[in-house]
Structure 1
């Protein structure tokens, strides 16, 4: 990364950072997409089982990974402030923390997964697929969390093409393993949805080991000496990382967990409704990679400029990012309006499932608009290291407003499953408004400080 002086230069650098992150996020999302898609091609029971398993796993994955993403603004501000010698220490401490978090997930999961599935009143075959999916994916939890640390380092340095390359290499591995294990090809056992979990777990090991190789061998990382010195665990370093990472992680967790909660609550409906809901939500999540990638790019760019004291430049990047997200969300809305049947066909060959998916995809249009405002704003706030208010806003908008509204509409009106989608959209919209207010406040505050103290 380098300082910029004009809007044109900023937009160019924004795209240089954004494009590889977008490809990376879409590819990571594609792993879940192919798990869901290929399981659905096996049977609706496999699709429903993977849906339930993913609903339990994804909030934990992204929430705890979000904690580790606290490393990104730390490193980007160190780079902006020309303190590269401190980066290696922060990365090693984050890796220690990632190992602890992974072990905790494995231990706690071993005790709670079966009881949770038991109380959901699922079809016995769906319950078995969900359990086996989670069991398979557990083999990759440690490397996945480790990779999130290494990716945070790579992206914070502006080397987002490296993250893109690593993730792109992993996708054909995942698809191939899915093909072999879900459908039982070339002598492998036919495991259905359970095979998707094993395939993802192995894929996580591949991307972690590949990331280590890149950091060890690529010249742009050599000067940091990431693995050249052993650093013992430092609780003080963990405290600094958790101070930023925990609000980020919980903010992401509250957002993803509410979608998981809705999927679990919808277990009261038939298997077709569960499968269609999850398919529509999976595609909406894939589209969400656009504002999420912009969010991650803004954290890097705003953090870099803030670390160097260029507050005006940080503010300009914020406007560029949010404007781009809104524009792209309108384009994705057009896709959903005119190609909903084609999208639905990606998930199922059964006509009644396709029609249900099309119905739920209509709500995804409104998701995109709110996400285009709220998600990039969170990236800007993280760049400023202002993370706690976003965490509070996420909790209020989703769990105090969105989920209760959805529950009431689904269970006490004739809307049924649609009520949950309307509740989620309500929460997203309110969250976007509150985050926008917070951004205006932060930019005014830093603008005043910058004006009075140019050396900031």
Structure 2
């Protein structure tokens, strides 16, 4: 009897379910995913808080803050994509019960975070000459530089957070991630409020205050994660900081081999939406405002399949690591089914309640807002269909990452975004004359292409040789 208990305990710790049914997989995926979903929503709230507070300062401050974050974001999300390779690698190590590999992967993930920040920070600090060369307003650029001079250094803790968050996700400790992220939202809001406006005897630092709040919040979140991992009994045994400066070049290279395509994929997607915003800018301010509203609605809904996708990476990675290919199948399709169910719901909400939803962003009693509201409601109709394909592509991409399959999906995604989506957006929006709706149809078309090819790739994973045993 004691031997059975020991076997069951070991199986639970390694991620091996004692039940192989679809119901057990559904429960495991949901339990892993829901804290990640809320944590992603909370992560969004960090940026939203700064936007609201800078908006209270005035439109010029909000514009400068937007310029700064727009410049910083591609570097940040690219780095997050690379360091995020720690998650599937740790999940695979957990599945194969290779405890020593867990420590080495996380340690080299920290190395990758530091190396990337060392390279990226000096580039980000060049915001002023780059923006001036691009013809941006000099005054807005000067203000944006004030924010970047401080916020750029947050790349060090922000990327470090991803390494430790990947470890926690791979071992189902997603509630800890949720608690730390929510604590970060509260801390950032409090610090930003005090430092931007100079309350409670603090100096009024405006944009610099928002940047300091961002930096301090990221440092605090990293410290909390490190403290948990090094003190909590379940993770303390990994000794992730032991011999921290000892190199493990094969694993360091593997993180970049798997993570670089992920980072480039995310940057390509961010770039697509940036290009779409620039196309909207050629149509007028009402279209830009309406686009921002529709995109915010879509991005909030997107956090759910994104959380499910992260859970899929872990579940697929664990199954792959222990060589259970049937569990790989169930993990991937379960996450896909959950994502499709939620995105169908959000699609119906956008289609039926779009005109109501947009009024949360602009006051319908103001006559000047009427055109933007009407445009935003029309964009949400397209965004309804957009939801289905966006959810499908993110879950499929993350399931493939659990198999360490990132290079070919990167090429497929870049082709879908830039060779399918953007040209269609340009032709329908500016040539055919469908304006903003045409641009959104282009976005949906690009994402639909990526969703179809990635889902097919996961379905054909065995034929494509993606299930080869790990060496």
Determine if the alignment matches structure 1 residue 330 to structure 2 residue 349.
no
> Which position in structure 2 is the counterpart of 1:376?
395
Is the alpha carbon distance of 1:131 and 1:365 closer, same or farther for their aligned partners in structure 2, counting shifts above 3 Å?
A: farther
> Which position in structure 1 is the counterpart of 2:4?
none
Contact kept? 1:402, 1:423, Cα under 8 Å:
yes
Determine if the alignment matches structure 1 residue 52 to structure 2 residue 67.
yes
What TM-score, normalized to structure 2? 0.87
Superposed CA deviations along residues 378-421 of structure 1, whole A, max 9, x for unmatched, are 11111111111110111101112212332334443433444432
What TM-score, normalized to structure 1? 0.89
- What is the alpha-carbon distance in structure 2 between the residues aligned to residue 197 and residue 271 of structure 1? 28
> Which position in structure 2 is the counterpart of 1:223?
237
- What is the alpha-carbon distance in structure 1 between the residues aligned to residue 279 and residue 160 of structure 2? 32
RMSD: 2.8
Greater relative contact order structure (CA < 8 Å, 6+ sep): 1
Determine if the alignment matches structure 1 residue 412 to structure 2 residue 431.
yes
DSSP-derived class of the 2:461 partner = helix
- What is the alpha-carbon distance in structure 2 between the residues aligned to residue 280 and residue 331 of structure 1? 16
- Deviation of the 1:359 alpha carbon: 4.6
Is the alpha carbon distance of 1:225 and 1:202 closer, same or farther for their aligned partners in structure 2, counting shifts above 3 Å?
A: same
- What is the alpha-carbon distance in structure 2 between the residues aligned to residue 309 and residue 397 of structure 1? 32
Contact kept? 1:52, 1:264, Cα under 8 Å:
no
Contact kept? 2:46, 2:189, Cα under 8 Å:
yes
Superposed CA deviations along residues 262-318 of structure 1, whole A, max 9, x for unmatched, are 334545455554454334323322221111111110110011011111111110111
- Deviation of the 1:175 alpha carbon: 1.9
Q: 1:312 aligns with which of 314, 326, 339?
A: 326
> Which position in structure 2 is the counterpart of 1:235?
249
Contact kept? 1:52, 1:263, Cα under 8 Å:
no
Work out the number of aligned pairs and report it. Answer: 451
Contact kept? 2:400, 2:406, Cα under 8 Å:
yes
- What is the alpha-carbon distance in structure 2 between the residues aligned to residue 357 and residue 119 of structure 1? 33
- Deviation of the 1:53 alpha carbon: 3.0
- What is the alpha-carbon distance in structure 2 between the residues aligned to residue 363 and residue 188 of structure 1? 47
Is the alpha carbon distance of 1:215 and 1:87 closer, same or farther for their aligned partners in structure 2, counting shifts above 3 Å?
A: same
Superposed CA deviations along residues 348-394 of structure 1, whole A, max 9, x for unmatched, are 55844562544544443232111121111111111111111110111
> Which position in structure 1 is the counterpart of 2:3?
none
Contact kept? 1:139, 1:202, Cα under 8 Å:
no
Unpaired segments ≥5 residues, structure 2: 1-14
Superposed CA deviations along residues 67-90 of structure 1, whole A, max 9, x for unmatched, are 111111111111111111221122
> Which position in structure 2 is the counterpart of 1:85?
100
Contact kept? 2:104, 2:248, Cα under 8 Å:
no
Contact kept? 1:288, 1:368, Cα under 8 Å:
yes
Superposed CA deviations along residues 306-352 of structure 1, whole A, max 9, x for unmatched, are 11111111101111111110110122223334554564455455844
Q: 2:312 aligns with which of 281, 294, 298?
A: 298
> Which position in structure 1 is the counterpart of 2:6?
none
Contact kept? 1:311, 1:446, Cα under 8 Å:
no
